[in-house]
Structure 1
Amino acid sequence: MSDRLAFGAAVEELSMAFERRTSLCRPFLRVLPVTGAAISTLGPPFGTETVCASDADAARIDELQFDLGEGPCWDAMTTRRPVLTADLRTASPRWPLFREALGTSQVGSLFAFPLSLGSLNIGAVDLYSRTVGTLTDAQVEDATTLSGICARQVIRRTLADLPSHGVVDGEAGDGFSRREVHQATGMVLAQLGVTAADALLIINGFAFARGRSVREVAADIVARRIDFAGEWSDPSESPPESL
């Protein structure tokens, strides 16, 4: 299978991961020259936890960063840029506690990509390799694209686990509230140039992140008290940070 066909298959697999309840990590491993992957949420409102890990070493890399509060995943989320560490052992003296805690672990290179959607910071994707080396520009672009799809999947899984998911303000039969949400969805779609599904997902995630109902957020969007165009930032537009 050619590289582009393999990437297309990975995109399709990741895009359907919520419906099929399949691994979020596996598509990254299909197309990138890495040993393992871990996907995590970092801090409020989604909590700090490993959503998916391809192996025990990937899970440990995540766990150490959680415990120590430092590491490439935190930097990727904070800066909204990929963090590329070609040789973890000889990199600049960043994350001293994290690097010391890794000890003799077989981690040669480590790459972190932010998970974000609109103004929401969700977490990060950690990719590690037992060998030293970096990613090509094309591979960074592919990983960034997959991370954007993954961010949507993580939010969908989080919202699906909420008891009130799919109910607007507890009033599913309120026709006005549904029309307002549809109108707000159309406005977000126009502001950001995203699909209708992504626009609704952004509204739901924004409401969840702020402890508000979808109807309240929709009303603010329609009244132009919330304008996502002013908050939108695409992490793929920023160059990766290489160490």
Structure 2
Amino acid sequence: MVTSAAGTTTGSYYASTDFSRRLDEMQTALGQGPSISAAAQGEAILVPDLDEPWARRTWPVFVESALAGDLRGVFAFPVGTGAAVLGTLTIHRPAPSPLKEVELAYGLASAGVALDLMLHPSPTGTDATWINGTDLGAHQVEVHQAAGMVSLQLGVTVDEAYSRLRAHAFRHDMTLADVAVEVVRRWLRFTPDPQPD
């Protein structure tokens, strides 16, 4: 899975499986997880076992959701360096185990390839697709559109709008992409919180 990062928001560029896509959407909706930490810190986050106490303390809600979905190992590599981190490349495992030395090397090298692909897209003009056949990143466009609409509906910053979208997704056990679709299609409208008397 390759995830882009822009400020406090993230979105998938590519996921090898539906499970990978759901994992990314879970982290995006919750605003926490190894991929988000790797992008924010600009360093690889290697978690051989999410059931470890330190992982539970670091990403409490994400870990509970991930373990319930039979995910145990997560390895997130920053795509880029320093202030120029564009996102992360994330590998996951259903069983707890550390990466071997050669696997770590492949992960780091693959993050470099992902950076090159993000900076130099295919000149053919053809769009890559998800493994499930949908346009690559199409759902992320709707997330950004939804954030803009919610920002206007509530009179808040775009970052706050993303937070509201994530909270709604979590509260209603939805993906962020599904909430965005409802907002963009005007099936869901956010209203300002009532002012106290």
- Using the size of structure 1 for normalisation, the TM-score is 0.46
SS in 2 for 1:42: strand
SS in 1 for 2:12: strand
| Aligned pair partner of 2:44 in 69, 79, 82 | 82
Q: 1:103 to 1:152 in 2, by over 3 A?
A: same
User: What residue number does 1:151 align with?
Assistant: 115
Cα distance between partner residues in 1 of 2:71 and 2:83: 32
Cα distance between partner residues in 2 of 1:65 and 1:160: 32
User: What residue number does 2:2 align with?
Assistant: 39
SS in 1 for 2:110: helix
User: What residue number does 2:100 align with?
Assistant: 136
User: What residue number does 1:104 align with?
Assistant: 68
Which structure has the larger Rg over C-alpha atoms?
A: 1
Cα distance between partner residues in 2 of 1:119 and 1:78: 9
Q: Indicate the percent of aligned positions where both proteins have the same amino acid.
A: 22
Deviation beyond 3 Å, 4+ runs, structure 1: 158-161
Matches within 5 A, 1:53-132: 53-92=15-54, 93-102=57-66, 104-116=68-80, 119-132=83-96
Q: 1:110 to 1:66 in 2, by over 3 A?
A: same
Q: State the AA in 1 paired with 2:44.
A: P
Cα distance between partner residues in 1 of 2:50 and 2:95: 10
Q: 1:159 to 1:116 in 2, by over 3 A?
A: farther
**Structure 1: gaps spanning 5 or more residues:** 1-37, 162-243
Cα distance between partner residues in 1 of 2:122 and 2:24: 19
SS in 2 for 1:51: strand
Q: 1:101 to 1:120 in 2, by over 3 A?
A: same
Cα distance between partner residues in 1 of 2:112 and 2:77: 9
User: What residue number does 2:10 align with?
Assistant: 48
Cα distance between partner residues in 1 of 2:87 and 2:43: 12
CA contact (8 A) 2:42 2:82 kept: no
CA contact (8 A) 2:51 2:67 kept: no
CA-CA distance at 1:43 after TM superposition:
1.5
User: What residue number does 1:11 align with?
Assistant: none
Cα distance between partner residues in 1 of 2:122 and 2:116: 10
Q: 1:137 to 1:44 in 2, by over 3 A?
A: same
CA contact (8 A) 1:113 1:147 kept: yes
CA-CA distance at 1:41 after TM superposition:
0.2
Q: Deviations over 1:88-126 (max 9, x none)?
A: 122412101211233521112111000015742100011
**Structure 2: gaps spanning 5 or more residues:** 126-197
SS in 2 for 1:49: strand
